[in-house]
A = this chain, B = another copy of it.
Amino acid sequence: MRPALLALLVAAALSPSLAVAADETPKPKTTQELLDASQPSDWRTLDPADTLYLELASGRVVVELAPDFAPEHVGNIRTLAHEGYWDGMSINRSQDNFVVQWGDPAEEGQPRKSLGSAKTQLPAEFERPAAGLDFHALPDKDGWAPQVGFAAGFPAARDPAGGKAWMAHCYGAVGAGRGMAADSSDGTELYVVDGQSPRQLDRNITLVGRVVDGMELLSVLPRGTGPLGFYEDAAQRVPIEAIRLATDVPEAERPKLQVLRTDTPLFDAVVESRRNRRDDWYKRPAGHIDLCNITIPTREPPAADAP
């Protein structure tokens, strides 16, 4: 039973739990059992105006933009994508246990590609007023922020005393690189977290969204050997075929992707099923989960829901 050994680590996510004898209290449902019992209303379809497709030779990465957190950056990114700004550019950096990053590969002092009708100056969008944001808090404490949870479908944090909320740097988070000045990002240089969550970046840089599908195409990119994981040789850069906004893609060519809503009783139950793993493999449920350990499930809509 060799390659199956560690498999059991996450068996709860893949297989129904063992039958419960009649004289036992029924077990709490596993994550998969909860998802299997989900209703169509537990899922949401990505808004094409907030959806980017990063097209690589290896496949498509789907990014959901977060206008509730970074409206100015998201607006600029929509314009840049609509005008084909990134088409033919490259991923220029891959730093182990940290980020990949793409954008204009022009070196310091070389001419840069025009931003077209996108803005060249944006405000820092490190945080936003907590008011007006439907924040769904986790029960667990967090070392980085007074509260953590989910808002608008994104992992986020909140400071009730200060009245602020912000997105969190979890695996898959997409942010806008900046220089020394807080307001020096324009949305052209985008990075994706692919290691241990670097939460020290929270409120120090503008997050614009997160990868909802295709992370495994980014996380395997060879690490650059230059400082900070930049590719030292231009030939090592990973070509970007195109970055397109879903609204610019014919509907028939858009993936039918649904994301689990994070503001429902079902989602709370899913989180609880991860806080305390109840399948037989686990000997000691943790009674805790960190924000960035929660993976938001996605699916293709079942046939019955399809148009």
User: In this complex, what residue of B is CB-closest to A138?
Assistant: B143
CA–CA, A108 and B277, complex, Å? 25
- A208 beta carbon closer than 8 Å to chain B: no
Instruction: Given A14-B228, A97-B171, A144-B288, decide whether A6 and B177 contact each other with a Cβ distance below 8 A.
Output: yes
Task: Tell whether, in the assembled complex, residue B223 and residue A179 are in contact, meaning their CB atoms are under 8 Å apart.
Answer: no
> Mostly helix, strand, loop or mixed at chain A's interface?
loop
A162 to chain B, nearest CB (A): 12
**Residues from chain B with Cβ under 8 Å of A96 in the complex:** 215-216, 219
Q: How many monomers of this chain does the complex have?
A: 2
Measured CB to CB, the nearest residue on chain B to A96 is B216
Residues of B contacting A196 with CB < 8 Å?
170-171, 195-197, 290, 292-293
Tell me the bound Cα distance from A157 to B96 in angstroms.
25
Q: A7 is contacted by which of B222, B230, B292 (Cβ under 8 Å)?
A: B230
Q: Are the CB atoms of A104 and B221 closer together than 8 Å?
A: no
Answer whether residue A3 sits at the interface, using C-beta atoms and an 8 A cutoff. Answer: yes
Closest to A148 in B: B143
| Pairwise interchain contact B8-A178, C-beta atoms closer than 8 A | yes
Partner of A2, one of B106, B274, B293: B106
Q: A274-306 interface mask toward B, CB cutoff 8 Å, 1 = contact, 0 = none? A: 100100111111101110110100000000000
Greatest chain B CB density within 10 A among A98, A105, A142, A283 is at: A283
Contact of A103 among B5, B204, B280 (CB under 8 A): B5
The answer on a CB contact under 8 Å between B6 and A227 is no
Closest 8 CB pairs of A and B: A6-B177, A5-B177, A216-B223, A96-B216, A200-B286, A143-B288, A2-B104, A5-B189
Query: Which residues of A are interface residues toward B (Cβ below 8 A)?
Result: 1-10, 14, 92-93, 96-99, 101, 103-108, 112, 126, 140-144, 170-171, 177-180, 182, 184-185, 188-189, 191, 195-205, 215-216, 219-223, 227-228, 230, 274, 277, 280-286, 288-290, 292-293, 295
Given contacts A1-B179, A2-B106, A144-B286, 13 further A-B pairs with CB under 8 A are: A3-B93, A3-B107, A5-B185, A6-B99, A6-B178, A6-B191, A9-B228, A10-B98, A97-B215, A196-B292, A204-B283, A219-B219, A220-B220
5 contacting pairs across A/B (C-beta < 8 A): A3-B103, A3-B106, A143-B143, A143-B290, A204-B283
